[in-house]
């Protein structure tokens, strides 16, 4: 298994970041990394250009860290309320998942966060206040605090509540048939 040394020009997950000198298989370097400009071969001239790549890497890492810290502040200030349907015993029928949290952050804050960065051991099924860590950067972790409430529908078990609910579909039904009769009379 012949290996060759290359210098990466951009961040490649699982391999390295810019300005890293790594050993990879020759076929991977020759067929993928070199033709796409993601790396170049180690030569004396290339080693001289290594400082420019290190500067580019430092700028990117500083920018990513600043963005992560800003996002952590925005997440720390926000308060969300999730609503779950619950039964008579108080047991939830649904749950709050990492996907739900990701969608809410995207809608409310306008920020794209990968759902795998949300550290949720298991879906949340109970009501109350919850705190979930979000790993935004290897140095920055935000704490998202949110409420989970029960979606209690007003249930009047008295005569007024049941009769009003029963009358509504009946009225719609009458109006539908009344319109049909009027249309039939007009066509005749």
* pLDDT score at 16: 92
Q: What domains appear along the chain, each with residue ranges and CATH number? A: 3-48 (3.40.5.10), 68-150 (3.10.430.100)
Q: What pLDDT was estimated at residue 85?
A: 85
Which stretches of the chain drop beneath a pLDDT of 70? 1, 90, 153-180, 188
Mean pLDDT, the chain, rounded, equals 83
Q: What's the pLDDT score for residue 45?
A: 85
Helix (H) or strand (E) holding 39: strand 39-41
This prediction's pTM: 0.60
pLDDT, residue 170, reads 56
Which tokens sit at 22?
A: 């790594």
Contact predicate 113/84, CB 8 Å? no
89 token code pair: 């015993």
């Amino acid at each position: 298994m012949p290996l060759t040394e290359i210098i990466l020009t951009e961040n490649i997950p699982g391999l390295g970041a810019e300005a890293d000198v790594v050993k990879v298989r020759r076929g991977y370097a020759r067929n993928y990394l070199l033709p796409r400009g993601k790396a170049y071969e180690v030569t004396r001239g290339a080693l001289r250009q290594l400082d420019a790549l290190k500067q580019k890497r430092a700028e990117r890492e500083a920018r990513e860290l600043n963005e992560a810290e800003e996002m952590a502040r925005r997440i720390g200030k926000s308060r969300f309320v999730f609503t779950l349907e619950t039964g008579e015993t108080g047991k939830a029928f649904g749950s709050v998942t990492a996907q739900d949290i990701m969608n809410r952050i995207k809608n409310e804050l306008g920020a794209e966060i990968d759902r795998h960065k949300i550290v949720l051991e298991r879906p949340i099924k109970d009501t109350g206040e919850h705190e979930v860590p979000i790993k935004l950067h290897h140095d920055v972790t935000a704490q998202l605090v949110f409420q989970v409430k029960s979606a209690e529908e007003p249930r009047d078990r008295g005569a007024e509540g049941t009769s009003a609910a029963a009358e509504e579909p009946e009225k719609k039904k009458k109006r539908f048939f009344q319109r049909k009769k009027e249309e039939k009379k007009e066509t005749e």
